[in-house]
Amino acid sequence: MSSVKGQLPVAWKNTERFNGRLPLKLDREQHGLAKKFRKPRNADPFQSLATLYDYLDRFMSYAVGLMACAKGCSYCCHSEIGLSQIEADYITARTGIPAKRMRQDPTRVGAAPWVDPNRPCPFLNLGACAIYEFRPMLCRTHVNFDATNALCRFDSEAESILLLDRESSLPGAMKAYGELAASYGGGIGDIRDFFCTIYAP
């Protein structure tokens, strides 16, 4: 970690600021999400997913002003965007755009390079996300804590970017997400596996 701190001092400082901003009450809230979603009255998986997304949005709101991410920057929309069947079907339910049904495949690996300038997310339209309100968990929690998006650019030779560590920062939310995805069924894959190209690159 000390090497990251030395190589990416701005991102490191912003990460520390972000962690310092998070209210303890908000952090504790995530640990009850999985239990909450298991209750019979919360049997609607899409409602549970929407509740989880709302939590993630509130959590990530404390990163405002500390990240390079901004509307119009879409480099990450050209990388592999993993999501589960429940998220794909949630997008379908909210947009009417049909998603494929994926089979369970725990050994699945990306079939294409992780970043490909010529292979944008099917929902990227004129540099903006056409399903921003319904975007997957990965998109909601993928942020670059550096001052600029230079490390994200296609020509960047950076070996790493300081991103949010979901497992340590969002353990309760990740547990709830994992249980929701598992109980719903279906497979996991890149968003391009679920949806065909919708907007011209």
At 65-82, the pLDDT tens digits run 999 998 889 999 999 999
Query: Where residue 156 falls among pLDDT bands split at 50, 70, 90?
Result: confident
Contact 77, 132 (CB under 8 A): no
Does residue 48 sit within a domain? yes
Does residue 120 sit within a domain? yes
Does residue 201 sit within a domain? no
Does residue 158 sit within a domain? yes
Does residue 199 sit within a domain? no
Most confident of 57-61, 75-79, 101-105, 115-119: 57-61
At 158 the pLDDT is: 73
The mean per-residue pLDDT over the stretch 131-140 comes to: 96
User: How many domains does the structure of the chain reveal?
Assistant: 1
Q: Look at the block and give the residue holding tokens 């690159």.
A: 201
Q: What pLDDT digit, counting tens, does each position of 98-112 carry?
A: 999 987 654 555 555
Does residue 123 sit within a domain? yes
The residues pairing with 122 across neighbouring beta strands, listed in sequence order, are: none
Q: Residue 199: is its pLDDT beyond 90?
A: no
The domain in which residue 124 lies consists of 2-194
